[in-house]
Amino acid sequence: MSRITREPYGFVHIDPSAIKEVYGGPGGLVFVECMRIRPERHEAKSVIVFSHPVGGGSFLPLVSALAKAGRHVVYCNTRYRGNDSALLMEKCVLDLGACIADLKTRFGYETVILGGWSGGGSLSLFYQDQAVRPTITETPAGDPLDLVGAGLPPADAVMLLAAHVSRAVTLTEWLDPSVTDEARPFARDPSLNLYDPACPAHPPYDDGFIARYRAAQRARNARITAWARGELARLRAAGEPNAERAFVVTGTMADPRWLDPAQDPSDRPSGTCYMGDPRLVNDGPTGLARFTTLRSWLSQWSLEASRADGLGNAGRVTCPALVVNNTADLACTPSHAARLFDALASRDKEIHQIREADHYYVARPDKLAEAVVVITGWLDARGL
């Protein structure tokens, strides 16, 4: 393993949006914070770029291990680092594109591989889709945002590492469908409340219950989407086209997978999720989409409105692609990796299973070395 050096840096790029949804700094300018991690005294023309919608992963075990294995790695934090309450996926794409363009001019990298770890997987697919065949000129809320004219530099390969399908799909699969009225979030339907002793269904769940449960999750997502669109329309009709509203979504960690290991079978333990006890996380402060806005809901959490659709984007991604699934992952379960692999349009694609590895390689740090061998071997075989 090589000794590594960490080089924090940043840059500013222009965002002419009329609406500012991040704290600090002048309007029209965005600061992007990055970390370059690389072996000491080793130059390279190839770089792995990690980016996650919420950022903050420059010290992840996998990121550091790839640098120690001889790879240049850059972790690009989007403008929403640490706070996704007003996040727009389209602006994450702009930040990632500005980072890649900067890498080519600042450091002279010629080959760029997207390291799509966890939520960065669907961001990477969304980015590559729009970099190769850009179509978007406005956000799902109808605000101007031009990815067609952004000049996004396409990546040369995409890696989906312990990745989920998308933020919208993941949230919906975790959404608590026993919440039937968002104005009364704790008056819940016991027949759909996994954590209520009065719920008639118990693990292992039968197919009929799961079908009803999943349909109710999708219906709840659709209700929130319809409400968000209605609120935006009301604001615009009142002469406030740039007005925004924040709101709270309760009940966001109620996936039957966490209680029934027969759902999406894997090596993960039952009764827990990647943030701990799912019953507590369901209504705790750190749940997905807990604090959000009308525009952000439509861009990142809405099944119907979000364009960051991992499977749809994957169907338009044709560059070489690697999928790595950690079989004891408590966040991104095996079906997500399988769905992503099947959806990829790439002729050159591979999927690998890292047995008994958890999401962060913390419970089984020995599995980190195995993942690094898979990743570097795949890259070396393609001259990347």
**Each residue's pLDDT tens digit, 7-57:** 999 999 998 888 888 887 777 899 999 999 999 978 899 999 999 999 999
Domain ranges for the chain, please list them: 4-166+306-381, 170-301
Predicted TM-score of the model (pTM):
0.97
Looking at 21-25, 41-45, 341-345, 371-375, which range is the least confident one?
A: 21-25
- For 144-177, what is each residue's pLDDT tens digit? 999 999 999 999 999 999 999 999 999 999 999 9
Q: What pLDDT, on the 0 to 100 scale, is given for residue 1?
A: 67
- For 245-264, what is each residue's pLDDT tens digit? 999 999 999 999 999 999 99
Q: What is the mean pLDDT of the chain?
A: 96
The rounded percent of the chain whose pLDDT value lies above 70 is 100
d(CA 23, CA 209): 44
CA angle 252, 324, 62 (to 5 degrees): 85
Residue 134: pLDDT band by 50, 70, 90 thresholds?
very high
Collapse the DSSP code of 118 into the 3-class scheme (helix H, G, I; strand E, B; otherwise coil) and give the result: coil
- For 263-301, what is each residue's pLDDT tens digit? 999 999 999 999 999 999 999 999 999 999 999 999 999
Q: What pLDDT, on the 0 to 100 scale, is given for residue 318?
A: 98
Cα-based distances in Å from 379 to 258, 322, 338: 34, 9, 21
- For 68-82, what is each residue's pLDDT tens digit? 999 999 999 999 999
d(CA 269, CA 237): 51
Q: Please give the structure tokens belonging to residue 72.
A: 């240049």
d(CA 134, CA 153): 11
Closest CA to 50 of 99, 120, 106: 120
DSSP secondary structure letter of residue 160: E
Cα-based distances in Å from 87 to 90, 170, 179, 300, 375: 9, 16, 24, 7, 30
State whether CATH 3.40.50.1820 applies to domain 4-166+306-381.
yes
DSSP tally for the chain: helices H, then strands E: 10, 10
Contacts of 189 (CB under 8 A, 6+ apart): 177, 178, 180
Give the mean pLDDT of 360-369.
94
CB of 2 closer than 8 Å to CB of 67: yes
C-beta atoms surrounding 228 within 10 Å: 24
